[in-house]
Amino acid sequence: MKIGVAKTEPGRFALTFDASTIEVDERDLKTLWMRIEDAIHPEAHDKRAERYKSFLVHLTAASDAGIQNLLRTAAHDDILVLLHSSEGDDALKKKLYRNMSQNSMKMYIEDLLFVFREGVPGYRFDDAMLRLIDTVEKMVSAGTISFPRNAR
């Protein structure tokens, strides 16, 4: 099989498999790479799981204003995954819900019950966590979310 990857424009790529071509963005390409890594090296998933766990603990230390900015900035589905992931962490769960309006809280709770009634599929969790980590890193650089010095 002939496989090719070409950059078509900034942030866009063409993946070629024999005669078939698929257009993807940089995030899709990173996700594909992650899936390939998981298939070749299953231990990579365990390492990523530790990173996610650390991220969630770290997020608990974020300022309330930063959490509010994150809730406004991140994609709705990513916040749903974050809320679902916080179910076992009372401190994070309380921090997230405390920084929402009553209407947002009601909407997210209803969506959680509908969208993830059977749990979060692993691939969706991975994708959302990677986007959230990326978003928070950009927000730290922009100064729109902050953490106490000892939390870094």
Instruction: Write the pLDDT tens digit of every residue in 21-59.
Output: 999 988 888 888 888 888 898 888 888 889 999 999 999
What is the rounded (10 degree) CA torsion for 119, 124, 127, 132? -40
Of 14-23, 59-68, 122-131, the one with minimum mean pLDDT is 122-131
With contact defined as beta carbons under 8 Å apart, do 74 and 59 qualify? no
151: how many CB neighbours lie within 10 A of its CB? 12
Q: Is 10 exposed, middle or buried (0-12, 13-18, 19+ CB in 10 A)?
A: exposed
Q: What average pLDDT does this structure show over 85-91?
A: 91
pTM over 0.85: no
Rg (CA), the chain: 18
- What string of DSSP letters covers 25-81? EHHHHHHHHHHHHHHH-THHHHHHHHHHHHHHHHHHTS-HHHHHHHHHHS-HHHHHH
Distance CA 22, CA 18 (A): 11
Instruction: Say whether pLDDT at 11 is over 60.
Output: yes
Q: How far is CA 50 from the centre of its chain?
A: 14
